[in-house]
């Protein structure tokens, strides 16, 4: 094992880059702009230039670098082939191979949600476990499934797409993916607000939520914590939907721990409690000892996971 590794989390507007020691210590991190012009043709070259610049600045030689791990916002197969990244403009090509040729370093690539799961397993909320399901509740609902320390990427890189598990056959609104009734439509920040607005439209009881002009998921959790009964019912409903979806996931992969992250997870124990309760009520008896933990690495989880992928090279 060499001393250093680079983790690169490529997003639609910026690329987060971290210089790590291979023991998991983040030494420095910075961002560069993601240039999506010409179908993102210069993105990997920009990343390579940034890494070379950092090595020069820190006086790191090539033979001290274990490699580069890359997280990509789209499906990636186990060999590092990207199957279309709409918000980068990328089509189908092997990211690991292209960046490897450009830099001369070994490169591993993975889907951003999956590498975030690896990061949380390595140095975050899932530390000490090797069977981990990471659930990211943000604008959408992302997932990453790790079995025996390895990401389940699946045949089309779509393994762990927990957000698009169908949870309601009756739904008439359409999910971002084109289907109807996906978990994401109920458990993402936007989904929580969508459900709240629907409920409030016919709610006759007093609730502080009615006085808010722009309702957010945080408002709903805050009101529930303050004892607002209507808000608490909305949180309970969320716990039911999320807890039952995770109960089904547990029957497939039987994880040791569910790590909950993303903006919505800032709600804290109230979210964990309702989810865990509903999970316990619904899952198979032998899956009931699964733990629930908060993610701890925030938006750095992806960078950590990118470097974790380099450990077994």
Residues that bind Zn ion (CB under 5 A): 164, 175, 177, 179, 182
Nearer Cβ to Zn ion (164/282): 164
Nearer Cβ to Zn ion (48/189): 189
| Nearest approach, Cβ of residue 126 and Zn ion (Å) | 25
| Nearest approach, Cβ of residue 102 and Zn ion (Å) | 35
| Nearest approach, Cβ of residue 200 and Zn ion (Å) | 24
Strand pairing class (90-94; 81-85): antiparallel
| Nearest approach, Cβ of residue 76 and Zn ion (Å) | 19
For 232-260, b/e burial (b = at least 16 CB within 10 A) is: bbbbebbbbbbbbbbbbbbeeebbbbbbb
| Nearest approach, Cβ of residue 147 and Zn ion (Å) | 23
Structure tokens, 193: 């607000």
Nearer Cβ to Zn ion (92/174): 174
| Nearest approach, Cβ of residue 168 and Zn ion (Å) | 11
Nearer Cβ to Zn ion (185/265): 185
| Nearest approach, Cβ of residue 243 and Zn ion (Å) | 19
Strand pairing class (26-33; 90-94): unpaired
Nearer Cβ to Zn ion (62/179): 179
Q: How many residues does the chain have?
A: 313
Nearer Cβ to Zn ion (179/288): 179
| Nearest approach, Cβ of residue 170 and Zn ion (Å) | 15
Nearer Cβ to Zn ion (182/290): 182
Nearer Cβ to Zn ion (123/185): 185
């Amino acid at each position: 094992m060499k001393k250093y590794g680079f983790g690169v989390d490529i997003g639609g507007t910026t690329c987060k880059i971290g210089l790590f020691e291979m023991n998991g210590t983040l030494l420095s991190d910075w961002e560069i702009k993601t240039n999506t012009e010409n179908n993102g043709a210069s993105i990997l070259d920009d990343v390579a230039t940034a890494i070379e610049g950092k090595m020069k600045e820190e006086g790191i030689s090539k033979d001290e670098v274990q490699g580069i791990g890359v997280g990509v916002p789209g499906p990636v197969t186990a060999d590092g082939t990207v199957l279309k990244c709409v918000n980068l403009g990328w089509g189908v090509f092997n990211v690991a191979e292209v960046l490897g040729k450009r830099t001369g370093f070994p490169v591993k690539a993975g889907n951003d949600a999956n590498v975030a799961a690896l990061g949380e397993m390595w140095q975050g909320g899932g530390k000490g476990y090797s069977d981990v399901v990471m659930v990211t509740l943000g604008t959408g609902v992302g997932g990453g499934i790790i079995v025996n320390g390895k990401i389940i990427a699946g045949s089309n890189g779509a393994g762990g797409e927990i957000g698009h598990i169908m949870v309601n056959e009756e739904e008439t609104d359409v999910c971002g993916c084109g289907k109807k009734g996906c978990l994401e439509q109920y458990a993402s920040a936007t989904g929580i607000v969508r459900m709240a607005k629907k409920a409030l439209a016919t709610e006759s009881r007093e609730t502080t939520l009615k006085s808010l002009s722009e309702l957010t998921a945080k408002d709903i959790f805050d009101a529930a914590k303050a004892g607002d009964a209507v808000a608490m019912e909305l949180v309970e409903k969320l716990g039911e939907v999320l807890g039952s979806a995770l109960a089904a996931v547990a029957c497939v992969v039987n994880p040791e721990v569910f790590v909950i992250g993303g903006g919505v997870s800032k709600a804290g124990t109230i979210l964990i409690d309702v989810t865990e309760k509903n999970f316990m009520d619904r899952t198979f008896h032998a899956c009931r000892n699964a733990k629930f933990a908060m993610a701890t690495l925030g938006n750095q989880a992806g960078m950590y996971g990118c470097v974790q992928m380099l450990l077994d090279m």
